[in-house]
Amino acid sequence: MIIAGPCSIDKHFIPTCLKVAELGATHLRAGLFKPRSGASRWAGMGNEGERSLELGLEMMKEVKARTGLKIVAEALSEEQIEILYDYVDVFQIGTRNQTASELLRAFGRQDKPIILKRGMATTLEEFIQYISYITYEGNNDVVLCERGIRTFETATRNTFDISAIPYLKQNTTCKVIGDPSHGTGVRDLVIPVSLACLAAGADGIMVEVHEQPDLALTDGPQSLYVEQFAELMKKVKAYGQIN
Ligand code: PEP
Ligand code: MN
C-alpha cells in the first residue's frame, strides 16, 4: 500500500492525485474532514458548508474515476462515516480518535477496511487492545498505522517509533503501515523514514504529497514535492513487491 496525496482536499487535490497515481501510488488520501488543534482553524472542505462539502465529494469521485485507485478518508464521527461511505474504499481513524471506543465500534460495523492510526500517547499494548473494539463488531479488515508518538523531542513533530512496525507485525495479524509525514513533520525526513518502515517489514506507507506545498492549507511543511515522491517511489520499487 502506497497511500499518497495532499493532507487536505483543496484546489490542488486532483492534479496532485493524478501525478502520484502515475508515479505508482496504490491509494489516494482524501482529507475532506480534518481534525485540527482548535475549533477556529480551517477543518477541511467538509466543514465549510454544503456546497463545499459536495464539491469535495465530487472531487473524490473524479480522482477515483480517473485513476482507478482506492480512496482513503478520515471520518471523525458516525455522521461523517455516512457522508463518506459511497466515496471511500478505506476509512481512516485518526490519532486523536484512536481511543474513542464507541466510534471504533461504529467503524467495526462497516464493510470496508479501516486504517487505525496509533494514538499519539498510546502504548503498543494498549493499541493492540483497542483493535478489538473494531473486530468485535465484525470488521476484521484493520490496518494499523504508526504515525509517531509524543516525547520530549522538539526537532520533529512527533517521535516516529520504528520498532512499532515489527512489534505490531509480530504481535497481531493486521497489516502494518507507517506514516512518516505526521511521524516527523519534516519533509526532508519523510523519504529516509519511509524506507526505514519498509526495511522494518511494513506493508506500506502513507505520505503527504502536494504539487505546491507552500500553498497547502494544512501540513505544507511535511508534504513532499511531487519530484520527491517520484524519488521515493523509485527507491520503494527497489524493495520489490508492495502489498
Ligand atoms: C492525517 O492523516 O491527515 C492526520 C490528521 O493524521 P493523524 O491522525 O495521524 O494526525
Ligand atoms: Mn496531515
Q: CB under 8 Å to 43, separation ≥6 — which residues?
A: 33, 34, 35, 36
Mean pLDDT score, 15-27: 98
Would you say 9 and 33 are in contact if contact means Cβ atoms under 8 Å apart? no
pLDDT above 90 for 240: no
pLDDT of residue 242: 57
Q: Give counts: helices (H), strands (E), the chain.
A: 9, 8
157 within ligand 1 shell (Cβ under 6 A): no
31 within ligand 1 shell (Cβ under 6 A): yes
Q: In the beta sheet, which residues pair with residue 117?
A: 145
The chain-wide mean pLDDT, for the chain, equals 97
Q: pLDDT tens digits, residue range 55-86?
A: 999 999 999 999 999 999 999 999 999 999 99
Q: pLDDT tens digits, residue range 225-236?
A: 999 999 999 999
Q: 68 C-alpha vs ligand 1 centroid, how far in Å?
A: 24
19 within ligand 1 shell (Cβ under 6 A): no
Q: pLDDT tens digits, residue range 147-165?
A: 999 999 999 999 999 999 9
Q: Which one of the ligands is nearest to 118 CA?
A: 1
pLDDT of residue 179: 98
Whose Cα sits closest to atom 4 in ligand 1?
94
pLDDT of residue 241: 57
Distance CA 233, CA 26 (A): 11
Q: How confident is the model at residue 239 (pLDDT cuts 50, 70, 90)?
A: confident
CA 186 to chain centre: 16
Q: pLDDT tens digits, residue range 125-149?
A: 999 999 999 999 999 999 999 999 9
- Is residue 179 exposed (0-12), middle (13-18) or buried (19+ Cβ within 10 Å)? buried
Q: 174 C-alpha vs ligand 1 centroid, how far in Å?
A: 19
95 within ligand 1 shell (Cβ under 6 A): yes
Mean pLDDT score, 6-12: 98
Q: 204 C-alpha vs ligand 2 centroid, how far in Å?
A: 17
pTM for this prediction: 0.97
222 within ligand 1 shell (Cβ under 6 A): no
Mean pLDDT score, 172-191: 98
Question: CA quadruple 84, 44, 35, 213: dihedral positive or negative?
Answer: positive
7 within ligand 1 shell (Cβ under 6 A): yes
220 within ligand 1 shell (Cβ under 6 A): no
